[in-house]
Amino acid sequence: MHLAYSNDRLSSRTTADPSAAGEPEVESSVIEWLLHDDQVMRECFIHAAEILKSVTGAAITAITLLDEEHQHYRAEVGMAMPLVTRARSLADYAVRDAELFVIEDAHDDSRFGECMLVQRHPFVRFYAAIALRAPNGEIVGALCAMDPSPGRLDAGQRGVFYHLRAMIENDLKMRTATAIDPLTQLYNRRFLLETIACRWKQAQDGDVMGSVVVDVDWFKQYNDTYGHPAGDHCLRQVASVMQAAADGECMVAGRMGGEEFGLLVLHAQSATLEATLDTLRQGVMDLAIEHRASPLGVVTVSLGASLTRITESSRSAHREGFASADRALYRSKHRGRNQVTMA
């Protein structure tokens, strides 16, 4: 397994209920973070892939991240890998087992006839991978080695997969502790603001960025009526609606503090943003969380939003965008709450 490939590395581009039966699903905020923004984990991934290549001699090693639809390569050593649908990926098989998954020759196993990397370049025959999990146990992807020739692993090489997994998951645990709000599993305030600043600087001239502030209506009264444990459960449910909206509409969601949340809308469109946010507002209302201290009888949210077209002069104006959204939120509250106001 020593074919000559280039050493290009290609960086890819995107909460389940933990009590649900079956295999945990991908935690979207963690996947979003790992795919886009975290330089520390990116370097950890590359080092792990390089170590694995040196030990196994495989032509290609990589970290793959899995969302519901796709397998994304976050670190590759050996060659730049294409985007692959999850249903036709080898990693989707690998993460079904806690142990090391090894295919010595994919041509001898009919299960892998439809896998894209077997059918197309680099025509993988040998494949070995081990699942990677977030601190809460949810699968985020796999550490893998592959080669266009059949191959085997000895006991020492197998052990390296387990050691590297432990290293990656330990680093991931430390990094998520500083990036993710433990109650809602959205970004915390600090990391949300860092991500907003980063995305704003990376935007192209002419891109439109949407800044959104969301506040749970009459939340102090909710806590006073039902108690703080119920309040925490309420915030988790509201956050799940926000994360679902973020996943579907190219948004970054985070908790600003207390009952206040923030959204950065990438490539926002003025014609549709208000409707999208109103769907989010209705989604919270549809949770039908009883709120006797609200005149509406259920938990609701108010939203304020603003749009900024990126130019050279507005490239550092993310704070002004959210200040404008916050003023729009105040108008939503002043007008009776449970509504969206555009700046």
Range of the domain at 170: 28-177
Do both 170 and 193 map to the same domain?
no
From residue 47, give the alpha-carbon distance in Å to each of 51, 99, 142: 6, 22, 15
**Separation between Cα atoms, residue 10 and residue 167, nearest integer Å:** 22
Looking at 115, 144, 177, the residue that finishes a domain is 177
Do both 42 and 92 map to the same domain?
yes
Q: How many CB atoms lie within 10 A of CB 87?
A: 12
Judge whether 265 lies within some domain.
Answer: yes
Q: Determine whether 257 is exposed, middle or buried from the number of CB atoms within 10 Å of its CB (0-12, 13-18, 19+).
A: exposed
Cα–Cα nearest to 128, from 111, 140, 142, 141: 142
Judge whether 260 lies within some domain.
Answer: yes
Alpha helices in 37-96 (DSSP H): 39-56, 91-94
Q: What are phi and psi of 103, to 5 degrees?
A: -115, 115
Q: What are phi and psi of 254, to 5 degrees?
A: -155, 165
Contact 342, 330 (CB under 8 A): no
Looking at 122, 147, 177, the residue that finishes a domain is 177
Judge whether 121 lies within some domain.
Answer: yes
Do both 144 and 221 map to the same domain?
no
pLDDT tens-digit readout, 147-172: 999 999 999 999 999 999 999 999 98
> Within 13 A of 35's CA, how many CA atoms are on the CB side?
22
Q: Is the pLDDT of residue 20 over 70?
A: no
What pLDDT is attached to residue 38? 61
Do both 173 and 203 map to the same domain?
no
Do both 74 and 37 map to the same domain?
yes
| Interstrand relation of 340-342 and 301-309 (parallel, antiparallel or unpaired) | parallel
Q: Is the pLDDT of residue 97 over 50?
A: yes
Do both 167 and 196 map to the same domain?
no
Question: Which pair of structure tokens corresponds to residue 166?
Answer: 């432990």
What CATH number should be reported for the domain holding residue 74?
A: 3.30.450.40
Looking at 155, 177, 199, the residue that finishes a domain is 177
Judge whether 17 lies within some domain.
Answer: no
**Residue recorded with tokens 């109650």:** 183
Do both 126 and 258 map to the same domain?
no
Q: Is the pLDDT of residue 9 over 60?
A: no
pLDDT tens-digit readout, 242-282: 999 888 778 899 999 999 999 999 989 888 999 999 999 99
Q: Is the link from the previous residue into 148 a cis peptide, with omega within 30 of 0?
A: no
What CATH number should be reported for the domain holding residue 229?
A: 3.30.70.270
Judge whether 16 lies within some domain.
Answer: no
What pLDDT is attached to residue 230? 97
Is pTM beyond 0.75 here?
no
Do both 221 and 101 map to the same domain?
no
Do both 202 and 333 map to the same domain?
yes
Judge whether 158 lies within some domain.
Answer: yes
Do both 85 and 173 map to the same domain?
yes
Judge whether 226 lies within some domain.
Answer: yes
**Separation between Cα atoms, residue 323 and residue 211, nearest integer Å:** 9
Split into its structural domains, the chain has a count of 2
pLDDT tens-digit readout, 115-142: 988 988 899 999 999 999 988 788 999 9
**Beta strand ranges found along the chain (DSSP E):** 60-66, 70-77, 84-85, 101-103, 126-133, 139-147, 208-216, 251-257, 260-265, 301-309, 340-342
Edge-to-edge strands of the sheet including 60-66? 84-85, 70-77, 60-66, 139-147, 126-133, 101-103
Do both 105 and 219 map to the same domain?
no
Do both 202 and 320 map to the same domain?
yes
